[in-house]
Structure 1
């Protein structure tokens, strides 16, 4: 599930939210309160259970040819084997918002959209459905590993674009 033109999405396991207030998340690295959402490019980053640790990598215009060997020419998401049952069974919902209330967040490339004022969804939460099927339909390779840390370390050293999300929930480094 991706937003249509002029919209952004917020993913949640709670389908009953009717109003979003900016807040500072417990895990935030910044002190400003935000409402978080995603554009069409970054929406797949959240096709997971909320607490699922994951490493996401994809080539950008600056990616060196040698680094493309890690992911090829497509986006790759990697999770631990132990999270597969949760990925297959979670009920994930998407909230749609007007994109005008949000601005890009992150550098060197934006990885999210944020609003600094309260926002109301354009309608009720929509079920995202089968997350494995969403990955397949989007052409995103989903990899399963027993240890995320070598993957994360590899993409950090590369020229790939990447994100590590909820890594505090990953198995400890060996």
Structure 2
């Protein structure tokens, strides 16, 4: 059985109704979820901007060396978010995959056009430790500007989340 996840700072959601996605204005109302592989991308406070990158099939050895990727995934946040990350509590909602279809394989996004009821909800704390357990290296920089420009030009797989909230 395929399982998918949704993360929230709210722990009492009973069902997820399709909503019009702000990031994809041409898409119909959807319920969004993430697959197991990409789950670490959402072990953060919702509004925390982050740049994540990892080895893909096309990744060159020179890019692995340049960006020092020797773990499953590297996720970089702005240093101003570290205290909030350490103190955050989020909730992981788990869904059966019955109604979900792949929206973006690289990012691990799945969507459903139907209302979805979670099969479980789990409170998550100590998020930096959870990242370590997922073989994710957390990096902090004063600004994500350089990575935002460089990573898409590399051969690494990547995801950029909540970039509208960066300091610059």
TM-score by length of 1: 0.90
| Partner of residue 52, structure 1 | 48
Aligned equivalent of 1:159: 155
Give the Å deviation of 1:91. 1.1
Q: Give unpaired runs (5+ residues) of structure 2.
A: none
How far apart in 1 are the matches of 2:112 and 2:70? Answer: 32
Considering only aligned residues, what root-mean-square deviation do their CA atoms show, in Å?
1.4
The 1:38/1:147 distance shift into structure 2, 3 A limit, reads same
For 1:120, the equivalent position in structure 2 comes to 117
CA distances 1:43-100 after superposition (whole Å, capped 9, x unpaired): 1110000000000000101101111121423210000000011101111001111012
Normalization by structure 2: what TM-score? 0.93
Contact kept, 8 Å, 1:58 with 1:71, in 2: the verdict is no
**Whole-angstrom distance in 2 between the partners of 1:55 and 1:110:** 12
Aligned twin of 2:144:
148
Aligned residues: 166
d(CA) in 2 for partners of 1:24, 1:77: 28
Inter-partner Cα distance in structure 1 for 2:147 and 2:81:
16
Structure 1 residues without counterparts, runs of 5 or longer = none
CA pair 161-30 structure 1, distance change in 2 beyond 3 A: farther
